[in-house]
Each structure stands twice: as structure tokens, then as C-alpha cells.
Amino acid sequence: MLFSLRRGTFMTVLLGAAFLFMSGVAHASEITIVKSDHAVEEISKKDLKKILEGKSKTWDDGSAIILVTLKEGPAHEAFLKKYAKKSAKQFTNYWRKMVFSGQGKMPQAFDSEDELAAFVAANPGSIGYIAKAPPDGTKELKIK
């Protein structure tokens, strides 16, 4: 009886660890995308964070940065945690304060990655993120 209890506990712990590992792997693939003809090929984590915080409003060529996000989901949570260093709730609250104080406009949020990618493909200067390969009209912006 004791052996079967320990074995059951071990299996539960093992399955839990496998689930956490797989969850981490699933979230490790978020990519930043821009319009395919965008001149920038890479961005630093520091510069990306400035964009996510609304502190950088233009690209190096002077064109406006249009930040777009997902409304929710694993890719949204993981991307914000990794690059903005905020939870989705903290990110939303941060932007609400920016809007209220007149320092920024809330980033447009999309229900799906396909909608977000279509917007990025159609709008020069836009930047967003998805958890799959960049579709036609967009390209991955490498993070250094």
C-alpha cells in the first residue's frame, strides 16, 4: 500500500513537471513581427521594452511606431512577461495610466494572431507579436 501511494505521488509529480516543461516550451516561441518591407531587421530587448512602454514613438527613420497587441492568451502573457516585464493586467493598467495622463494612446488589441498579423502586414511602422511563423506580408524582427 505504501509503495503504491509513493508511486502514485511520484507519477503525479512527474506528470506535473512534464506539464510545466511543455507549457514553458509552448511559450518560448513568441516572435516579434513587422511589415515585410520594414528596414529594421533586429531590435534590442531594451528598445523593445521602450516601445512596449510607449517611450519610443518613432523608428530610426522617423516613421511612427504603431504598437499592436493581442487581447489575451498564452502568447500575450508570455510576450509581455518576457519583454515588458509585466503581467497582462499590469501592462493594461500601465497603459490606462498613460492614456489618463495624456501621455499615450492604448495599443490596438486583436482577438487573434491572424487579425494582428494582417494589420501589421497592411500598416507600415506597426509592430506586434505572434506564436507562429510570420505570415505573408510580415517578417520576424530579431531580438538581440
Residue-wise pLDDT tens digits, 95-134: 999 999 999 999 999 999 999 999 999 999 999 999 988 9
Q: Would 112 be classed as within a structural domain?
A: yes
Calculate the average pLDDT of the chain.
Answer: 85
The two beta strands, 142-143 and 42-43, are parallel
Length of the chain: 144
Residue 14 included in any domain: no
| 3 vs 31, higher pLDDT | 31
Number of domains into which the chain is organized: 1
Position 34 in a domain: yes
CATH of the domain at 132: 3.40.190.10
Residues 6+ away with beta carbon under 8 Å from 134:
31, 33, 36, 117, 140
Residue 86 domain-assigned (yes or no): yes
Distance CA 121, CA 113 (A): 12
45 within domain boundaries:
yes
Average pLDDT over residues 40-45: 94
Give CA torsion, residues 14, 20, 25, 31, to 10 deg: 180
